[in-house]
Amino acid sequence: MLPLGRLVSQFKNQKNLHFAFAFTFSTATNHHDGVKLSPPSPPPIRVALTESAGRGVFATRRIGAGDLVHTAHPLVSHPSLSAIHSVCYLCLRKLAFVTDSQAQSVPFCSEQCGEQAKVFYEVERKVDSSAYDDYCRTRGLKYPLLVRRLACMVISGVASSDCLDILQPARLSDYMILEMEEEFGLLRSAFTKANIMDGQIAFLTKQWYTSVLARIRINAFRIELPGGLYEDLLKSAAASVEAEDAVGNAVYMLPSFYNHDCDPNVHIIWIENANARLKALRDIEAGEELRICYIDASMDRDARQTLLCEGFGFQCCCLRCLSGD
């Protein structure tokens, strides 16, 4: 098994250090006044190879039901086109109201988010990607928006072009590749017309575009923020679907290593923004693999199998599916 510290050190040898491995874990201990808190403990997990599902995440010690395993910040995120003026353009936090000036551009929930996004957003503003957006909007495509955001981050120097290479790619059909080639042409043309220097977009090849999009397709999470109170959400094993609205999509590093189970022992939730929280649904013993559910677990077995096969390219052999449930 590979400790997280060693995994992080591997990324430090790459250029994408700034966005390499964004997760945190807080286990603040009780203290008396005047006594400093002890440093946060590392997540109680390791990344290792499984027998049949590639990499997986395993507990290094016992994790209690309801415990926070770790949190994760997105490597790249983007709001849904339908929500682009109602959520923060960076962290996807829902906005209480939108000013007239925000409605004319894109809103940020705080000066901090605006400052963090400033470098790559300046690149986005230079580029007229309306044709690309229209193409995505008319076809109901969401993942190409993440590719464009990542391309702007690479051009601005805050991310490396190979920062997603470690993630598993989806299998692409010939039709998917043809569709991606059309998308790529629109995006490349938009950058060229914006007089972005050739050296800055040398990475933006057809191969890079399809490779990144293949990884985003099966590693992106749909961000749904609850409509209820934080306390109400924590009382439930999973947030009510009726109380949630999709505000965008995001890709994370560590959460992408979690394998699927139709009866998971961990779930991923979003409270205020795109920062993810992974919490234990039941007691997990040391050495046990942590798994999340990629889809709606309330569906029947046949529906789950179809969606997992078509959307993620595998047949689920978890105990729940094998039992016919």
CA distances to 95, 107, 154, 189, 204 from 88, rounded to whole Å, are 7, 6, 21, 27, 27
CA–CA distance, 99 with 246 (Å, rounded to integer): 22
* pLDDT of 25 higher than 90: no
CA–CA distance, 48 with 264 (Å, rounded to integer): 18
What pLDDT digit, counting tens, does each position of 43-101 carry? Answer: 899 999 998 888 999 999 999 999 999 999 999 999 999 999 999 999 999 998 766 66
Q: What is the DSSP letter of 97?
A: -
For tokens 């098994």, the residue is 1
* pLDDT of 23 higher than 50: no
For tokens 């909007």, the residue is 137
- The H or E element that residue 113 is part of is helix 111-126
Domains of the chain and CATH, by start: 1-73+252-294 (2.170.270.10), 76-218 (no CATH), 298-325 (no CATH)
CA–CA distance, 271 with 226 (Å, rounded to integer): 7
Residue 230 pLDDT: 42
Residue 26 pLDDT: 41
Average pLDDT taken over every residue of the chain: 84
Structure tokens at 157: 């120097």
Residue 325 pLDDT: 86
What pLDDT digit, counting tens, does each position of 280-299 carry? Answer: 999 999 999 999 999 999 99
CA–CA distance, 197 with 254 (Å, rounded to integer): 34
CA distances to 68, 261, 287 from 64, rounded to whole Å, are 9, 19, 14
Among the listed residues 257, 78, 249, 77, the one whose alpha carbon sits nearest the alpha carbon of residue 167:
257
Axis crossing angle, helix 174-193 with helix 130-139, rounded to the nearest 10: 150
For tokens 């702007």, the residue is 152
